[in-house]
Structure formats: structure tokens, C-alpha cells
Structure 1
């Protein structure tokens, strides 16, 4: 009996080792993708920052401008933005590598549900970032420049501006993942469609509460986030109706 147990232990170790090697290979591909995109973007780093700063610069009072309060900020801040942009552009490749690593261990019905969720999650995150850049940030900066006290000159540090905009992008990108979160909760059995419909009024209150917390202190920005979140919640209900019933299969499905 000892020999079969020993062989089983060796097989488990070899299987674990092969999985670790595959994980390492795919992580290296992710890192290589980001580095390649970063190298390509570095020559355009200053132009990228100018485009990022456009929503604020266009609304600054005459004669006002962004400033750099640290010696290395004019060099490091655009480089930091180029790195964020490389992550943003390379995210489809990163998600594909992670999917290729975990998908062999999923059941067929899990794969059928996970594929559209991954694509939708990525698209909704990009949509949230674009929504923040083109609609919310201009409205927020218009409000902030309008309420600047008389005698105070608005001159924002470039590093602080980058941190603020990246935080807004991340927050809006996550908030736009509402349909994906709703589908996942329904798929794992935490909630069902009738419960989600009954919770609609709580979702609306939660959307306005979250919007009030993460948006700049103006009513326009709060409404511009809360309303899309409510609509996305309704989209999540439709997605649950379309996707979740279709995946009902026996627990004994064979893996691909």
C-alpha cells in the first residue's frame, strides 16, 4: 500500500509544480505586455497628461494653470500616468491570461456564464472611466472653479490632480460593475430575481448614498453617477433573467 500512496503523492506534487510553472508563465506574459505598452507610451507621456488635464485646464480662470510643487514631478507624474495607461490598455491581455489559467478547472455551465461576465466587466469598467472623463469631471471642475472664494487663485498640483482623476476613474469603473455583481450574486444563489426586484428601492437609495460619498461635493456629479447606477441595476435584472436560468444544470456536468 505504501507504493501507491507514494506514487499518488508524487503525482500531486508534479501536478502542483506544473500549475505553478503555468502560472509563472502567464504572469510573465502579463508583465511583458504592460512593459511593452509602457515603453511605447513613454514618448507620449507629456501629451497623455495634457489630455488628462484638459477637463480642468479648460475651466480654470484666465491666467491660472497647473503647477508642480516637487522637483521631480514634471518627469515622474507623466511617467506614472503612462504606467496607468499601459495597465488600462493591457488589461484585456491580462484578463485573458488569467482566464486561460483558471478555465480548465471550471464546469461547462460555469464557463458559459463566466465568459460574458468577464467581457461585460471589462467593457463596463472602461465605460465608467469614459463616463467620468467626458461627463462627470467637466461638470465637477466647473462647479469647483465657480465656488472658489474671491481672492483665492486655483492652481492645482499635477501629482494631486493625477491621483484625484485616477481615484475617480477607479471609483466610477467599479460602480459601473453593478450588473456583473447582480448576476454573480444571483448565480451563486445569494439572491433570486424576485428578491432583486423587491430590493429595487434599496438599490436606488444605495446608489445615491454611494454617489454622495465618492463624487465631488456638487449635486450634479452625484446625480450623474446615481442615475446610471440605477439604470445599470435594472440592466443587471435583465441579465439575471437571460443568463442565470440558462445555466441550470446538474452538478455532475463533465469538465471540458
Structure 2
């Protein structure tokens, strides 16, 4: 009888997980459908915004270097002859569908976190729930901070560099729609996930897999790993890699503080617990 109840409980958890996943995917698909309907506006104002010479980042960098009395390539950006190529019959349709799904995931990220929280919350104590109440807000804030950093800093710098990089005049740059959109969306997702580092360290510390001492001891190794990751998610130019690496290293230092605070709270709670 006990085994039957245990099996039913396990099957019940699977059924509950299934509905959480269904609602999460439904949210992604609904938002993706909205993005697909307004595909022209999404592409003109978001996904293709970086090939507009008056993009805000280019103007700010131009003004900044002018203020310093320095000439800058950001002041003479011209993408007039940089038309993206669609060389397959289904290219634009499939690209708009895939981009809509990615943007649907990004927009629904807080809701997905809420569904995850609803699934794991029944297994937590009241004290654990209260101490983790800000999880959705903090994780969502870091995620969208990564989206903004990628969109307004990493993507425009990378695109400006790559669109103007040329080995010789004998080679003409003619980029495809897939390569451009893939570059932008990969940056959005990759950098945003990297910005979740403090949240990941928080949970790894809670379950005892990570300690502040461990993070400090392997800080140099983390620096090398961050540079490798930055090289993977950014174009092969040092400036973009450094710009990505700096905030991640700052987040790593914040993660050490977060881990230290988790350990401190655990020790404090252990001292308060009654001894038998």
C-alpha cells in the first residue's frame, strides 16, 4: 500500500510538472505568435536596428569620443550598401518563425520562472520560501539586464566591427539574413544566461556544492573560463570579448558575496536550532 501511494505520488508530481511545462510553452508560443504578427516592426526596430547608422549606441559613442577630442569610426558609420541576403525560398519565413520563438522565450522568462517556482515551492519549508521570495524578481532583473547589455553594447560594437572588417578589397562582404539574426539572437540569449551567475551560485551554495573559499581559490581559473565563454558568444575581436568579460567578472565577485552570505545565514540558523 505504501509503495502504491509512493508511486501515485511520483506520478502525481510528473503530471504536475507536465502542466507547468505546458503552460510555460504556451506562454512562449502566444508571445511568439504576437511577435510573428508584428514581424516587420520587430525586425525594423529591434533585430535589424544595429544596421541603422543613427542607432543610439553609435551616436553616444560618437559624442563620447568627440568629447575626448578623438576621431571615431562610430561617427562615420554607413550601412547603406550592406543589404542582407535571403538566398532561399523559405529563408524569410523560417527566420521570422525562429526569431519569434526566441523573442517569445525572452519575453516570457519571468512567467517561466514563476512556473518553476510554483513547482518547487510545495517542497520547501515556510522559512525557505520566505528567504527565497525575491528569486523571480532578482533572476528576471539579471536576465533582462543581460538582454539590455547585449542589445545596446555588445551587439552594436560587434556588428560595426564585423560589417566593416575586410581582409582585402578583393573580398566583398555580403551577409545573409540568417547570419545576422543568428548573431544578434545568440548574443541576447548567451549574455542573458551568463548574467544569471549569482542566482546559480546562490542555489549551488544552498545545496553545499559551492563555497566562498572555492570561488576565491579558483578566481584565476574563472577568469580564463570567462574569457573563453566571451570568445564563444562574441565575434573574434578583443574589444567585444573584454566588454563581455568585465561585467561577468563583476558578477563573479558579486557571486562570492552571495555565497558568503548564504553560508553565514546557514551557520546562524544552525546556531539557533535547539540542541538535543
State the TM bucket, normalised to the shorter chain: 0.7 to 0.9
Normalization by structure 2: what TM-score? 0.77
- Contact 1:57-1:66 at 8 Å conserved across structures: no
Which of these residues, 27, 46, 53, is aligned with residue 21 of structure 2? 27
Aligned to 2:34: 40
TM-score (norm 1): 0.82
1:106 to 114, 124, 136: 124
1:71 and 2:89 aligned: yes
CA contact (8 A) 1:67 1:157 kept: yes
Residues of 2 paired with 1:31 and 1:183: CA distance?
26
- What is residue 165 of structure 1 aligned with on the other side? 184
1:66: Cα distance to partner?
0.9
Instruction: Measure how far apart 1:69 and its partner are.
Output: 1.0
Aligned equivalent of 1:87 = 105
Q: How far apart are residue 60 of structure 1 and its match?
A: 5.4
Contact 1:57 1:65 in 2 (8 A): no
Contact 2:110 2:136 in 1 (8 A): no
1:230 aligns to what? 249
Aligned partner of 1:120 in structure 2 is 138
Aligned residue number for residue 188 of structure 1: 207
Deviation for aligned residue 1:68: 0.5
Distance 1:163 1:145, change over 3 A: closer
Gap runs ≥5 in structure 1 = 1-6
- The SS at the match of 2:24 is helix
**Could you say which structure has the greater relative contact order, defined with CA pairs below 8 angstroms and 6 or more residues apart?**
1
Deviation of 1:201 (Å)? 3.2
Give the Cα separation in 1 of the matches to 2:263 and 2:128: 10
1:99-143 CA deviation, whole Å, 9 max, x = no partner? 211221124454355544454333222222221111011111221
Instruction: Report the RMSD for the aligned CA atoms in angstroms.
Output: 2.5
Structure 2, unpaired ranges of 5+:
54-76
Distance change (3 Å), C-alpha of 1:10 and 1:185: closer
Are the structure 2 counterparts of residues 158 and 103 from structure 1 closer, same or farther at C-alpha, using a change threshold of 3 Å?
same
Distance 2:108 2:201 in 1: 26
